A and B are shown apart, each in its own frame.
Chain A
């Protein structure tokens, strides 16, 4: 099946997933993002690229950071931004997803940024929008969160320069994490030789080995000699199910402390997609240390989202 995020010339028209995203497109996004970073130092922190374009942030699921960074990114590209919190509006009145999209398209939308609790919702939208309209997935169900993965790749490249010698560990609730899935695809595409997944058996999905991932249930064994540690948020609702005993117990085994981090490489960086649960998956002493690049991720996230928006918006169907 044709990759629905590419046009027939192989150019990026929507961003739906990092799975199957060609390596040269990933590099193009990261390189373009790099040109947006210095904008923050100028008198005028925006460029006129998307002047006159309308960007609709459609958040069917709550998010503060992702929605805000998409909004900042769109505004720095001079687009007009409309934030729709759909939970509180049409969906609750029974309107279907495609009817919502149809109505917003009639308001001359050029680009939809979509977050939805159902995996595949952004794909469905991308298949039904007019040829000049673009869709960016801002997180769908357990499936994908491609801009988070791309900003993670940008952060790793910024600090480590080269992907070809790295060992990267992703720690925590891999099972429910769209970030983990998107990160694994992106890391593999960029040629990272060793990707590890660390977590309790109840939070590790099947099939990781088939994706080329080494699986560890012991955190110290998994962190040995890694260059990059990507911590995942432990969603509180998991605690209510039977998957975990308690937050305290989880922290004891899988919470990142300086003591556990000591087995990683001395210059290993610590990442987290946010929001953090201090004292659950990460110790404050680590989160606030110079090993942590968590706030860099947020800043780079704006440049990466600007890059994705400007690339898709400039691609013809």
Chain B
């Protein structure tokens, strides 16, 4: 980890905008190490897609960001079936030989990221994949880490952290009781 994002107690989480500012700096640093013409942001539906959209603008990147809906790649289909609101994945650029920065809101078990990587490879063979997340809540079940993080929360909160986007584009994080599948 090249930057040192802060660690917060669950009852002392800053607002999502503060986390976003840290994440933006971290992603900018990460992209600075890569060949600019061959870097693409890909957000995971829905929170990650909002973040990728805003990062794309704030970083002044050319073109459009990509979005992934990993519903068809989940490992819990046999248990919970198909999500009721699947969105089309949209990758408006070649994946082959590009550096992809996957963007998601909350990093938890890592299963969503595994599914997203599997889906990305069905578009082509990327040069590399990095991961940027607004909040890392620990609890990994797979060997996956983020290179750009807005903040850590420790110990893990009870319930699921959900990102919301207001009409003016500002982000808010809320804690919901149901445990996350992420």
Contact = CB atoms under 8 A, between A and B. Distances in A.
Interface of A: 11, 28, 31-32, 34-35, 37-38, 42-44, 46-49, 310-311, 313-316
Contact of B123 (A28, A35, A43, A48): A43
Given A43-B123, A314-B81, A314-B82, A48 B88 contact: no
Dominant secondary structure of chain B at its interface with chain A:
loop
A33 to B, nearest CB: 10
A31 B84 CA distance: 9
Given A42-B123, A43-B123, A48 B72 contact: yes
A192 B139 CA distance: 50
B86 interface: yes
B158 interface: no
A315 B121 CA distance: 28
A35 B82 contact: no
Interface in B47-103: 69, 71-73, 77-78, 80-82, 84-90
A48 B73 contact: yes
Contact of A310 (B73, B82, B85, B119): B82
A220 to B, nearest CB: 41
A7 to B, nearest CB: 11
Which of A31, A37, A43, A315 is the most central at the interface, judged by chain B CB atoms within 10 Å of its CB?
A43
Contacts of B121: 44
A166 B71 CA distance: 33
Given A35-B69, A48-B73, A316-B81, A42 B86 contact: no
B124 interface: yes
A315 B78 CA distance: 9
A47 B73 contact: yes
A55 to B, nearest CB: 15
A38 B72 contact: no
Contacts of A34: 88
B178 interface: no
Taking residues whose C-beta sits less than 8 angstroms from the other chain, chain B's interface range is 20 to 34
B122 A314 contact: no
Nearest to A78: B72
A313 B84 CA distance: 13
B67 to A, nearest CB: 12
B103 to A, nearest CB: 20
Contacts of A47: 72-73, 119, 122
B4 interface: no
B89 A32 contact: no
Contact of A38 (B80, B82, B88, B118): B88
B75 to A, nearest CB: 9
Given A38-B89, A49-B77, A315-B81, A310 B124 contact: no
B77 A42 contact: no
Contacts of B87: 35
Contacts of B84: 28
Contacts of A38: 88-90
A31 B86 contact: yes
B72 A49 contact: yes
Nearest to B90: A38
Nearest to A45: B122
Interface string B119-142: 101111000000000000000000
Contacts of B71: 35
A34 B71 CA distance: 14
A31 B90 CA distance: 15
